[in-house]
Structures are given as C-alpha cells and as structure tokens.
Amino acid sequence: MKHDPIELELFRHLLASICEEMGIVLRKTAYSVNIKERRDYSCAIYNAEGETVAMGDHMPVHLGAMPESVRHVREALTLGRGDVAIVNDPFRGGTHLPDITTVAGVFAGTDRKARFYVATRAHHADVGGMSPGSMPLAKEIYQEGIRIPPILLVRNGKMDRELLNLVLANVRTPEEREGDLQAQLMAMERGSARLLETVQRYGYTTVSRNLKQLISYSERMMRRMLARLPDGEYRFEDALDSDGFGGEPIWIRVTVRIKGDACEVDFSRSDPQAAGSVNANHAVTLSATAYVFRCLIREDVPFTAGLMRPIRVFNPEGLVTNAKAPAAMAAGNVETSQRITDVLLGALAKAAPTAVPAASSGTMNNLSFGGWDPFRNRPFAYYETIAGGMGASAAHDGLSAVHTHMTNSLNTPVEAFEHQYPLRVRAHRVRSGSGGAGRRRGGCGIERQLEFLVPAEVTLLSDRRERPPYGLELGGPGKCGANWLVRSGKRVHLDGKLRLQAEAGDVLGIETPGGGGFG
C-alpha cells in the first residue's frame, strides 16, 4: 500500500505529542516527589489489537514492557466505555510492584469496541511490603508489597471505592498514593480526548491507515539495520554482583544470531532465578532487548510494535531473565534490566564495533527509606534512583552524572527533597576520576551524602560495586561504586544490597560507578 511520507511523519509526531501531553498532565497533577520531580512515569498509545503505536520520551524500561500489561488486561477483562484497569503483578504483565499500570479503551461515537488503548505506568513511592519504599531485600514477592492482578479500578466512569480503599489500606502513604493514581487517570482522560479529536478531524479510516503504516515503517527500518550487520553468532556475558543473600555473582549470558534482516536473541545460558529480588520477568527482558536494538538504528524511527517483529527472543522460564512465581522481583526491573542491556551491547559490539558504546554505570543505585516524621507529624516513604557515568563511544566521551539506558529519570532537587523529608543533603556532586580511561573517556558518576534527622529504615539495591563497567577497544573500565555510613564519627563500608536502621545523625554516602572508556 502506497503512503504519503509527509502525512505519515505528521501523524507520527501528532501521536507522540499526545503521549507527551499525557505525561505533562500526570506530572503536574501527581502528589509524590518521585513523579513530580524525578518523572518516574511513562505514557503510551496502542491500537485496537493492543500493539504499540506511540509513546512519550519517558522511561525505556516501562515503555518496552507495557505492551505485556495491555495484553494481560485485554485477556483478563473486557474493557467498556468508562472502564479503567490497573495492574502491577509481575507475573501478569507488570514489572515490579511499585510500578502501577493503568489501561483504558478509547471509544468513538456509539462504538462497543475500543478503537485505541491508552496506558500510563508510574512508580509509586510505596506499595506496602516489608520495607518503606517497597524495594526490600526480599526472598519472595509477598514481602514486596500489595500485588494487583488486572482488575477494574473504574467501572463505567465510577471509581470502585472499595477496591481503592483496599489498596490504600496496604500502603504507608495512602493520601500520596491516591493522588498519584488520580493523576494517572487524569492523564488517560487527556490522551483519550486528544485521540477522539484526531479521529474527528481526520476520520478513523485515515488515522487507522497511518497507524498500520507507522508499525510497518518501524519494522522496515529495523530490518534494514539488521541487514547492514554481518551475519553470525555473537556472545557476551556479564554478572550482577550478587542477589543480596550470597556472595556469588548472578550471570546473564546472551547469544545474538543475525541472519539477513532478522535475528534471534537467546538468554538460555543465563543463571537460574535467584533467591533475592534481582529476578526479572520476560517483559523486562523484552523491554531491554527492544531498547538496545532501537538504539542501533541511526535514524529517528518511531518506537512501535513493528520494531520487534524481526527479532525472536528465546528466554526460557526459570531463569533470572524470566523468573517464575513467587520470585522476588523488586530489583529485576531496575538492576537486572541494566545488566541485560550491558550484555546485549557487549555482544553487538562484536558485530558493529564503532556503533556501540562502552558500558555505562550499569545500576540505578536504588535508595528507599521511610519512618515517622515528627516535624510534619506524618509517616514518610521515599524512593529514588541515583545517576552515574555514561560509557564512551568511538565518537564521544561519556557524559557524567546522568541516568542511562533503561532509566530516564531526573534527580530530586535538593530544595524539594529537604522540604518534603526529614533529611539533609550533605553533598551532591560529580565523582571525579570515576570514568574509564581511553581515547574517549567514560563519564563520571555521582557522590551523594544524606544526613538523617530522624531514625529511618533504609534499603539499598545497587550494583557494580564489585564488577566495574567494561571498556571497549582497549578502553579502561569505569570505577566501581561504593556505599558507606558515618555513625558517631566512624565510617563503615556498606554492601551493595542491604537493609539497615539509620539513626538520627547518621550520614549515608553513595558513590555511583563511572562509565567505561573507549579505545
């Protein structure tokens, strides 16, 4: 079918702008610092079959995994006009429990069948579980928070208050959670309204035709990129430091087989699922795979379902890359997704050595804490990821102090942080000298120091504390990260994954890894 390339490009940006506007509504109406300041959320649009047709410039790990949430919602429920489903269960399309996804159909006129679907995913700063922030050092998913299968939160335009009350009864900060959920609903209302305006302006036939062509265009661009790579089998392996319960590394191994304009990505040699929470599900592995291959396309191609059509992912159940229930999953979405990215890039560097950068920091340096705030007379729970160094490439030095690969969030400004929580930021600076050496230097990480003004329970899920980010083409590795605590004037080293009880006056230090060098 012939298409008008100008019209296609206009529709591509029109749909992307709707996703961006959804994100703006979500950010501006949310309650939590994690969403308002760090922007830990994502928005996307799907066609009537649940295939991705557009997404905002949000969180890669969310966006690549959200189609699985939409698929499970469509399989479990028949969404009618005014219905909104929520889900966070990693074994039913979610990623980890703090990421709550909302899905709604978009109906035009008197339609009984949805013409589109809109979805949002936001990381909620607490969803219950054994530790504040809901990113615990856990051994089973039941310890990590409330687990929600696909279920209707809104029925025919009316909130199911009993269901919402059940969710809020299981979290530490219910007012904040309700505000963030309402923000997600507002974002979807805006997306639905804009899609209906688009249909009214151009007609559903024109809109539908362009959606199909966008998916086909993405597929063609992916096939063209794969065809440029030499046929062959490319292997790489790298490891997480540990699962938090033992000193043994957790290995992720990939084999990429390229033949013509298609390829197979095989994770079957990876380690079995772990006792700790570093387990990822298949949706997270698909997300990292889609991200890496999309990055190899030189052109600015739309991120639609067509990108993955030429790529077969072989990922047997029971591996750390596709864990089975009741595995703990909190760190799989944030830490294991980064290592999956690292091994895929390492394998593809053998096929395209000048197109792939050295390893970036390879960890989101997850910090969560909570307790009772006597100054504001309320409980508090907080979660953040901390940036690191970007890997260098053949053309450029790596950037310093940035979120890379599967995360695309910001830092929480010091003023907002100290205004909201009973802590003081003692330092937040670039960690000089942490980038890998080479013809192109790796970017440097961050040093962040937080003083607790009240007692708090703290959880750290970080990596690259023992195995540094690799360099490429003889470039040096980035410097490993480090965690430490100063109590009563004495500084002690902390493990990469731990749970501790902080006392008033304690200072927690987190030094994030630098990126690898190139050449």
- In the chain, how many domains are there? 2
Whether the Cβ atoms of residue 123 and residue 41 lie closer than 8 Å to each other: yes
Cα separation, 86 vs 101, whole angstroms: 5
- Beta-carbon contacts of 162 under 8 Å, excluding residues fewer than 6 positions away, are none
Q: Strand locations in 260-365, DSSP E?
A: 262-266, 311-314
Residue that finishes a domain, picked among 200, 217, 234:
217
Token code pair at residue 91: 């074994």
Whether the Cβ atoms of residue 341 and residue 405 lie closer than 8 Å to each other: yes
Cα separation, 445 vs 479, whole angstroms: 9
Parent domain of 120: 5-217
> How many Cβ atoms from other residues are within 10 Å of residue 184's Cβ?
29
Task: Classify 494 as helix, strand or coil.
Answer: strand
- Rounded to a whole number of angstroms, the distance between the first and last alpha carbons of the chain is 46
CA angle at 229 for the pair 227 and 232, rounded to the nearest 5°: 105
Residue 205 CA: distances (Å) to CA of 10, 113, 197, 211, 314: 16, 16, 14, 10, 36
In a domain, 252, yes or no: no
Cα separation, 489 vs 182, whole angstroms: 45
In a domain, 309, yes or no: no
In a domain, 299, yes or no: no
Closest CA to 78 of 102, 124, 43, 113: 113
DSSP H helical segments within 282-393, as ranges? 282-295, 337-348
In a domain, 294, yes or no: no
In a domain, 267, yes or no: no
Radius of gyration of the chain, Cα coordinates, nearest whole angstrom: 22
Looking at every residue in the chain, the average pLDDT score rounds to 95
Whether the Cβ atoms of residue 102 and residue 153 lie closer than 8 Å to each other: yes
Residue that finishes a domain, picked among 188, 217, 246:
217
In a domain, 230, yes or no: no
- Beta-carbon contacts of 335 under 8 Å, excluding residues fewer than 6 positions away, are 240, 278, 363, 364, 366, 461, 462, 463
Number of H helices, E strands in the chain: 9, 20
Q: For residues 137-168, b (16+ Cβ closer than 10 Å) or e, as one string?
A: bbbebebbbbbbbbbbbbeeeeeeeebbeebb
Token code pair at residue 509: 């230090």
Sign of CA dihedral 410, 414, 416, 418: positive
In a domain, 273, yes or no: no
Which helix (H) or strand (E) covers residue 429, if one does? strand 423-431
Which residue ranges in the chain fall short of pLDDT 50?
none
In sequence order, what DSSP letters do the residues of 157-226 get, joined into one string? TEE-HHHHHHHHTTSS-HHHHHHHHHHHHHHHHHHHHHHHHHHHHH-HHHHHHHHHHHHHHHHHHHHHHH
Residue that finishes a domain, picked among 190, 217, 244:
217
In a domain, 240, yes or no: no
Question: Is residue 339 packed enough to be buried (19+ CB in 10 Å), middle (13-18) or exposed (0-12)?
Answer: buried
> How many Cβ atoms from other residues are within 10 Å of residue 28's Cβ?
12
Query: What's the confidence (pLDDT) of residue 2?
Result: 65
Token code pair at residue 268: 């079957």
